[in-house]
Amino acid sequence: MDSPYRFRPAARADLPMLLRWRAEPEVLLWWGAWQHPEAEFEAHLADPAMALWIIEHVAPGRQPRPFAFAQDYACHAWDPHPFSHLPPGSRGVDQYIGEPDMLDRGHGSALLREQCDRLFAKGAPAIGTDPHPDNTRAIRAYEKAGFALVSGPVETRWGRALLMERWADRPR
C-alpha cells in the first residue's frame, strides 16, 4: 500500500505557512515563538546537521496537502547533547502537526513511524526524541510509533524533556 504521506524538503517559500503553523496554540505551546523567523529558519536550512521536512497528506483523488513539519538532525553535532551516547549516525527527531483539523486522527504516530523507517533505511542505528514531560499527546504518539522512554525528566539546553529512543535492530 502506498503511504498517505509525502516528505519533501522544506524551502524558503514554506516560511509563511510555517509561521502560520507556529502561531497555532498547540504548536506555540510546545515550540514557542520564533524571535527572528527569517534568520532562524535560514540558519536551520543552511545547517548540514539538520534536515527540515514538510509532510503532505496524500489522499486519493486530491492534491497533496501540507499539514506537518518534521526535522531530523545529527545528535553528535551539538556538545553536549542528551543523545550523544547513541552510536555515530544516530538521528534526533522533532515534529508537529500544523493544521489543527489533522490533530487526533492518528497522523502523528503514523508519520513518526514513516520518518523512522526512512532514517533507518538510510543507515541510522538509533533515533532519539525529547518531548516535554507535560506534552502527553506527543509522548503517546512516540510510544505508538515504537519509541521507549529511557530517561527523564531531565533539563537540557532546549528545556525540560523526557528522553525516548527507537533502535533499528530492536522490535517495536
Which cell numbers hold the place of 92? Answer: 534526533
Which cell numbers hold the place of 65? Answer: 496537502
* Residue appearing with cell numbers 506534552: 135
Q: How many CB atoms lie within 10 A of CB 68?
A: 22
Asked if 161 and 82 touch (Cβ cutoff 8 Å), the reply is yes
- pLDDT, one tens digit per residue, over 90-137 is 999 999 999 999 998 989 999 999 999 999 999 999 999 999 999 999
Give 80's contacts (C-beta < 8 A, 6+ positions apart).
Answer: 157
Three-class DSSP category at 68? strand
26 CB-side CA count, 13 A: 16
**151 closest CA partner among 83, 66, 96:** 83
- pLDDT, one tens digit per residue, over 44-75 is 999 999 999 999 999 888 999 999 999 999 99
For residues 157 and 131, the model is more confident at 131
CA distances from 40 to 1, 34, 48, 63, 88 (A): 37, 7, 14, 30, 26
State the pTM of this model. Answer: 0.93
Q: Which domains does the chain have, with CATH numbers?
A: 5-127 (3.40.630.30)
